[in-house]
Amino acid sequence: MSLNGKIFSLPSARAEEIIKSLQIREPDEIHIKDIAIERGVFVRERPLDGSEARLVRKGNRGIVTVKDSITEVGRKRFAIAHELGHFELHNTSQLILCTEEDMYFWNESKSQEIEAKEFAASILMPQGIIRSYLKGETPNMNTVQDLAGKFRTTITATTLRYVQLSSEPCAVAISKDRTIKWYKKSTSFDYHIKVGKKLTPNTYASDFYRGAVLPTRPERVPASAWIAGEFDQDAEIFEHSLVLRSYGGGTIIIMD
C-alpha cells in the first residue's frame, strides 16, 4: 500500500507468508484466533478503557486483549489481526495500545499503525484468495458487501482492499459530518479527491444527510463534485455511496 508516496511491502508479504504456511485456500478457513495462537499469541476479550485492543509481548509470546463490547464480527476480527500485525512486525514494543482511530482510520501518519492495518487486511483477505472473487465489472458497493460477508470483514476494510487490488480506475472515500475525510485510490485512478471539502448537493452522499434513500447501484455525477485539480469540467464519474452507521458517514466507491 502507498501512503504519501511511502510504500509498505513487508506487512502484506508477512501476512501472505503465514497464510501460505498454513495452507489456507478459502475464506472460511481464515480463523484469525487460531492463526494467532499458532503464531504464539493468545486472544481474550476484556473490558478496555480508552482502547479497542492491546498487545502485551514477552519474548516470542503475546497476549491480545480485545474490547469485549465490540459486537461486530468483522470489527473484532480486524482488531485481532491488527494486534497480530504488531506482534509480527514490531518486536521492539512490549506493550501496544490501539484506539479506534489507530485501528480503523487510514489517514494518520503513524507508520506502525499503517503497517498493522496493512497486515490485518492482507491476512483477513489474502490477495491470492480474494482475487478469485473479483469480477470484471463496474466497481460497486454490492460486490464489496458480498466480499465482506464471505471474508467476515468490515465494509470499510473490504472496500479498501477491493480498491487496492482492483484493475479498474476507482477510489474509496469516507465522509463524516458532510465533509470528505480521506480517500484511497487504485493504481489506475489518476485523480485526487477533495479531502477536507464539504459534500456538494450534486453528490448522492450528501443526500444521506438530507434523509434520502441512496441508490442501490452506481450512478453518474459530475466529476467536479468529487475530483480536485484540472480535468474536463463536463466529465462525469460513477458514485455508489453506502451508509456506515458506525462512522456517521458514507463509504463511496467512485469509477472514472
pLDDT in tens, 16-42: 999 999 999 999 999 999 999 999 999
- Least confident range of 37-51, 102-116, 190-204: 102-116
Same domain as 159, residue 92: no
Last residue of a domain, one of 77, 98, 127: 127
Residue 6: pLDDT band with limits 50, 70, 90: very low
Residues 111 and 64 in one domain: yes
Q: What single-letter amino acid sits at 238?
A: F
| CATH number, residue 111 | 1.10.10
Per-residue pLDDT, 7: 39
Q: Is a pLDDT exceeding 90 seen at residue 163?
A: yes
The answer to whether residues 119 and 42 belong to one domain is yes
Band (3; pLDDT cuts 50, 70, 90): very low
Q: Is the pLDDT of residue 2 over 50?
A: no
On whether both 181 and 72 belong to a single domain, the answer is: no
Which has more confidence, 52 or 5?
52
Residues 9 and 114 in one domain: yes
Look at 81-90, 106-115, 145-154, 172-181 and tell me which has the smallest mean pLDDT: 106-115
Residues 51-75 have a mean pLDDT of 95
Q: What is the pLDDT of residue 4?
A: 37
pLDDT value for 99: 86
Q: Show the domain range for 76.
A: 2-127
Q: What's the pLDDT tens digit per position in 190-229?
A: 999 999 999 999 999 998 888 888 999 999 999 999 999 8
**152: which 3 cell numbers?**
467476515
Query: Which pLDDT does position 70 carry in this prediction?
Result: 93
Tally of domains within the chain: 2
Under the banding of pLDDT at 50, 70 and 90, the label for residue 107 is: low
Please report the pLDDT score of residue 162 as a whole number: 94
The answer to whether residue 5 scores a pLDDT higher than 80 is no
Domain end: 95, 127, 159, which one?
Answer: 127
- In terms of domains, do 197 and 87 share one? no
DSSP H or E stretch at residue 2: strand 2-3
Contact 204, 242 (CB under 8 A): no
Q: Tell me: do 114 and 31 sit in the same domain.
A: yes
> Does residue 8 surpass a pLDDT of 80?
no
Average pLDDT score over residue span 137-151 = 92
Residue 136: per-residue pLDDT:
76
pLDDT at 134 over 70: yes
Q: Quick one: cell of 67? A: 474490547
Whole-angstrom Cα distance, residue 189 to residue 8?
19
- 3-state SS of the chain: helix, strand, coil percent to 5? 40, 25, 35
How high is the pLDDT of residue 235? 92
DSSP E strand boundaries for 109-207? 170-176, 179-185, 192-193
> Is the C-alpha dihedral spanning 151, 84, 79, 197 positive or negative?
negative
Nearest to 3 by CA among 110, 126, 132, 130: 110
